[in-house]
Amino acid sequence: MEKKNLKLSIIIPNFNSGSTLEQTLNSIIGQNYPNLELIVIDGKSTDSSLEIIKKYKQHINYWVSEIDRGQAHAINKGLKIAKGDYIAFMNADDLYLPGAFNHFERLIKNKSYDFIYGNVMVGINPLNSQIIKNSLTTLDLGKLLLFFFNVRYIIPSQSVWIKRDFLIQNELDILDESLNYCMDLEWYCRISLYNPYTFKIKKPYSFFRLSGNTKTILNAKAMKEESLLVAQKYLFNLKNNQLKNWHRYKLLDRILRKIYAKKLKCNFTVLAWILKKTGFISIFDKRILGLFKLEIKNEIRNITSN
C-alpha cells in the first residue's frame, strides 16, 4: 500500500492584510496538495480580510477573527491547533511558489529531518523578484546571532518547515510574545540548542513581498534593536571563538554606523586600523570594500590632477 502524503499545517497570522491575503491563500490552495491543514488566525481585522476568509472557508480547516496580542500570539494560537507532520507559518502578504508542497514532500519523505529551510524569492511581486540566498548551511547559533549586522544571517520564515513531534517533545511549540519583529529569530536560536536534524533546500519555493507596508522595512531600526536583545539572550551559549567573532562584528557595525551617519572620510590609515581592530572580518564586508574603492579613486584623482 502506498504511504499517505505527509500532513502539512500552514498557519497564516493576519491583521488588515486584505489587499494581499487572497493571493496568499490562493498560493496555498492552488498547490492542490492532498493532505493540507490550513489555519488562519485573524486579529479582528477592520478591512476586507474577513470577507476574503469567508470566501475561502471551504478550504480553511480552522479560522478565527478576534483581538490578539500581536503576530507571535496569533502564531502560537495556530501552533496549539496544528496537527500536521510538519508545520509552517506564512505571512499574509507572502506566497508559496507553484509546486512547492509536492517538491518539499518528495525531498523529505521517508527522512527524519526536524528543521527544513531554504532561500526565498524577494521583490514587489513574484514576476519581479530575485533569489536571496542566506549564508547558513546549518542551523548555526553563532551565525543566527549576526542578523543584527547583515540579513544574510537570518533564516527566512517563509522557507521554514518544522517537524511537529520535534517541537512538542522539546517544548518548543511556542514563540516569544514579547517580541514584535524577531520572534522567528529567537525561535530558531532556541531550536538550534536542541541540535535538530537540519536540511537546507536549495530551490526557493516561497516569495517574500517587499512593500512600503512591510513591518520589518518600516521599522528597521526597532527590528535591529530587538535582534540585539535576542543576541544578548543567547551569547553565553557561544564558544569562545564565536563570541569573539560576534563582538568583532558588533564593533564593526558601530564603526560603520558612525562613518555613514557623520559622513566621515576614511583614508588608508583609518581603514587599516578598522581591519586590525575587527580581526580582518571587515575585509569581506561590502561597505568596507566600498570605502577602500572610494579612497583608491581619490588617490588616483589626486595623482592624475598633479
Among residues 153, 184, 218, the one where a domain terminates is 218
Choose among 201, 6, 31, 199: nearest CA to 86: 6
Split into its structural domains, the chain has a count of 2
Report the pLDDT averaged over residues 254-262: 87
234, part of any domain? no
Q: Does residue 73 share a domain with residue 39?
A: yes
- Any domain includes 131: yes
Asked whether residue 216 carries a pLDDT value surpassing 60, the answer given is no
Same domain, 195 and 273: no
Instruction: Give the model's pLDDT for residue 78.
Output: 98
Question: Does pLDDT of 233 surpass 90?
Answer: yes
Q: Which of 55-64, 181-190, 216-225 has the lowest average pLDDT?
A: 216-225
- For β-strands 120-125 and 128-132, DSSP reports them as antiparallel
Q: Which domain holds residue 275?
A: 239-305
Please report whether residue 25 resides in a domain. Answer: yes
Partner residues linked to 13 by β-bridges: 41
pLDDT of 213 higher than 70? no
Report the Cα–Cα distance between both ends of the chain, in Å, rounded. Answer: 84
62 alpha carbon, distance to own chain's centre: 25
111 and 185, same structural domain? yes
Q: Say how many C-beta atoms besides its own lie within 10 A of residue 126's C-beta.
A: 15
Q: What is the pLDDT of residue 226?
A: 96
- State the pLDDT at residue 218: 64
In a domain, 277, yes or no: yes
Same domain membership, residue 104 and residue 37: yes
User: At which of 187, 218, 249 does a domain end?
Assistant: 218
Q: Which residues of 99-114 are buried (b: 16+ CB within 10 A; e: fewer)?
A: ebbeebbebbeeeebb
Q: Are 118 and 210 in a shared domain?
A: yes
Domain final position from 164, 188, 218? 218
Same domain, 93 and 142: yes
Find the mean pLDDT for residues 44-67. 97
CATH code where residue 49 lies: 3.90.550.10
| Strand residues in 66-126 grouped as ranges (E) | 86-89, 95-96, 115-118, 120-125
* 155 and 248 co-located in one domain: no
Whether residue 52 is found in the same domain as residue 163: yes
pLDDT tens, 106-148? 988 888 899 999 999 999 888 888 988 888 888 999 999 999 9
pLDDT at residue 283, as a whole number:
79
Is the Cα dihedral 208, 213, 215, 217 positive or negative? Answer: positive
Pair 100, 89: CB distance under 8 Å:
no
**pLDDT of amino acid 133:** 81
Does 133 map to a domain? yes
* 258 and 182 assigned to the same domain: no
If pLDDT is split at 50, 70 and 90, which confidence band does 171 have? very high
- Tell me the average pLDDT across 157-172: 97
Of 28 and 270, the one with more pLDDT = 28
Quickly state the pLDDT bin for 1 (edges 50, 70, 90): very low
Helix, strand, coil percentages in the chain from 3-state DSSP, rounded to 5: 50, 15, 35
How confident is the model over 78-84, as a mean pLDDT?
97
Q: 2 in a domain, yes or no? A: no
Between the alpha carbon of residue 294 and those of residues 150, 258, 267, 299, 301, the distances in Å are 22, 17, 9, 9, 10
Helix (H/G/I), strand (E/B), else coil: 115: strand
Sheet holding 62-65, edge to edge: 62-65, 36-42, 8-14, 86-89, 161-163, 115-118, 198-201
Q: SS3 of 12, please? A: strand
In a domain, 228, yes or no: no
Q: Are residues 276 and 158 in the same domain?
A: no
**Which secondary structure element, helix H or strand E, spans residue 132, and what is its range?**
strand 128-132
Q: Are residues 288 and 160 in the same domain?
A: no
Are 107 and 179 within one domain? yes
